Amino acid sequence: MEKATLIFNGKKHEMPMVKGTENETAIDISQLRQETGLITLDVGYQNTGACTSSITFIDGDKGILRYRGIPIEELAEKASFTEVAYLLIYGDLPNKEEQQIFSQRLTQNSMIHEEMLRFFDGFPPTAHPMAILATMVNSMSVYYTDYYTEDFQAETFDLMAASLISRIRTIAAYSYKHSIGHPHVYPKRDLKYASNFLYMMFDSPVNPYVPDPDIERALSILLILHADHEQNCSTSTVRLVGSSMANLYASICAGICALWGPLHGGANQKVIEMLEQIKNDRLTIRQCIESAKDKNSKFRLFGFGHRVYKNYDPRAKVLKEYCEKIFKKCNYQDQLINIAMELEDATLKDPFFIERKLYPNVDFYSGILYRMIGIPTDMFTVMFAIGRLPGMIAQWKEMHDTVPLKIGRPRQIYTGNNLRHYVPMEER
């Protein structure tokens, strides 16, 4: 491949190029400082690749998203969430035997240690479920000590991965029960992934959970569409924490905390709160659009814009179409979807949004489906975390499979005081 040439201080420096399987091309600057004494500065890593990866491919200009080469549209239509989890972590869709082993491992690891239930007594009912989730996931390294050791062991990893994917559901459902003062419902061994979660969420001694295949499929589709998204903020956090050889539970806990932010995974909760504000305050769509464009206004158009997608987020497209289909089939009404569609229609015609290539992202329609399923708004980001967990685990594993493991340690440009000395209190 041709090289990149940097001319600095009259001297030429050549740097190798890297081209991916979808022809994305990068300058490899790993020797830059050694050769030139220079570093690069790229606030927010908008132009910086942290790694090579074979897990997820995004073409932000064309609105393409594939997991291990398979378009998410096909997976959302045909796959189960556990198949997608296996695909992301192990590289291919599981055959029948692999699926059975994986499902059995998830079933065997669906209950949480009874002593972990005592943590819930310490949380007030109003505790945000993301705070509970992060705490409980990190505590898993205390109760499930088959966690990462100095030498990466495949069979230990398989157990940790299944333990996390299965138990995150149980923790999430228990946090909901705790918030409404209901008894926890133990997982069942004969229910599939999404059904078991909904059973633990909505079954109670007085109101049995009534399975609805459409609702269970809607949840699986939501989980599949959230399963991975290459080097986003929270997954990059998982990689960075994992690069210090922290165990998988601690790394995932850090990723859950990063996901909580309203600019990231917390946006789905913010979208519904925004739509409800529009409805309750009787705001016009035009008022919303103008406020969203006004830098001084506190109003933010959550669910719009994306660092990578400069086209319609393909996940939002699938979710919007599925909302329309399932609402019609279940004869379900939600005024918020009408507001969402009007808002989308108006922004896509507004020069401010067109110039900035701001389109609906995954969070714009996901909350409307979670509402239909009956998930409380403050649990929407927890649902994002449940879906994203296989991707975080897959990225953590890929980093550990890449030898040598390099600890992540970005540089900086110092802009503080030059050398100065201590001044005694009486002279300040």
Q: Which residues are catalytic?
A: 306, 363
Q: Which of 161, 218, 256, 292 binds ligand SDX (CB under 6 A)?
A: 292
5 exposure class (CB count in 10 Å sphere: 0-12, 13-18, 19+): exposed
Residue with Cβ nearer ligand SDX (187 or 360): 360
Pick from 129, 102, 98: which is nearest to 192 by CA?
102
Task: Cite the DSSP H helix spans in 57-109.
Answer: 72-78, 81-90, 96-108
Residue with Cβ nearer ligand SDX (106 or 375): 375
Residue with Cβ nearer ligand SDX (227 or 326): 227
Q: Which two tokens stand for residue 76?
A: 């959302």
- Are residues 364 and 309 in contact, defined by beta-carbon separation less than 8 angstroms? no
243: alpha, beta or left? (left if phi > 0; alpha if psi -120 to 50): alpha
Is 314 a residue that touches ligand SDX (CB under 6 A)? Answer: no
Is 169 a residue that touches ligand SDX (CB under 6 A)? Answer: no
CA pair distance 137, 266, nearest whole angstrom = 18
Q: What is the DSSP letter of 205?
A: S
Is 370 a residue that touches ligand SDX (CB under 6 A)? Answer: no
Q: Which of 142, 263, 354, 405 binds ligand SDX (CB under 6 A)?
A: 263
Is 303 a residue that touches ligand SDX (CB under 6 A)? Answer: yes
Which one-letter amino acid corresponds to residue 410?
P
Using DSSP, state whether 58 is helix, strand or coil.
strand
Give me the 200-229 binding string for ligand SDX, x by CB under 6 A, dash otherwise.
Answer: -----------------------------x
Is 363 a residue that touches ligand SDX (CB under 6 A)? Answer: yes
Residues 22-61 interacting with ligand SDX (rule: CB under 6 A): 44
Residue with Cβ nearer ligand SDX (44 or 213): 44
Which one-letter amino acid corresponds to residue 271?
V
Q: Which of 167, 264, 320, 371 binds ligand SDX (CB under 6 A)?
A: 264
Is 301 a residue that touches ligand SDX (CB under 6 A)? Answer: yes
For residue 75, CA distances in Å to 5, 81, 144 come to 42, 9, 32
For the CB of residue 372, give the shortest distance to ligand SDX in the complex, in Å: 20
Q: Which of 85, 164, 185, 267 binds ligand SDX (CB under 6 A)?
A: 267
CA pair distance 79, 234, nearest whole angstrom = 25
Residue with Cβ nearer ligand SDX (139 or 232): 232
Is 66 a residue that touches ligand SDX (CB under 6 A)? Answer: no
CA pair distance 287, 281, nearest whole angstrom = 11
For the CB of residue 255, give the shortest distance to ligand SDX in the complex, in Å: 10
Using DSSP, state whether 113 is helix, strand or coil.
coil
For the CB of residue 344, give the shortest distance to ligand SDX in the complex, in Å: 12
Which one-letter amino acid corresponds to residue 191?
L
Give residues in contact with ligand SDX (CB under 6 A).
Answer: 44, 229, 232, 263-264, 267, 292, 300-308, 356, 358, 361-363
